[in-house]
């Protein structure tokens, strides 16, 4: 019989969801880096707000997964 949970006790889909979240964050970071490389000037304050929102959303998502 196949197990329905992984060794950590989470559902099998939790790891893939976490990887998708990491890929999303990496994609966002790459877009920001590309923007800077193209000479777009984003204020430090706006950049910090965007980063804080992404971290907060990621934390809320992970708490919902646990």
- pLDDT recorded at residue 11: 59
pLDDT digits 0-9 by tens, 10-39: 555 666 777 777 777 777 777 777 667 666
The HSE-up count of residue 57 (CA atoms within 13 Å, CB side) is 11
Question: Alpha-carbon torsion 44, 48, 49, 54, what sign?
Answer: positive
- pLDDT recorded at residue 1: 47
- pLDDT recorded at residue 28: 77
Q: Rounded to an integer, what distance in angstroms lies between the CA atom of residue 32 and that of residue 26?
A: 10
- Note whether 62 and 21 are within 8 A (CB): yes
């Amino acid at each position: 019989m196949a197990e329905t949970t992984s060794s950590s006790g989470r559902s099998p889909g939790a790891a893939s969801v976490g990887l998708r979240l990491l890929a999303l964050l990496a994609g966002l970071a790459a877009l920001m880096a590309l923007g800077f490389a193209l000479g777009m000037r984003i204020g430090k304050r706006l950049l910090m707000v965007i980063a804080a929102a992404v971290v907060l959303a990621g934390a809320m998502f992970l708490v919902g997964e646990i």
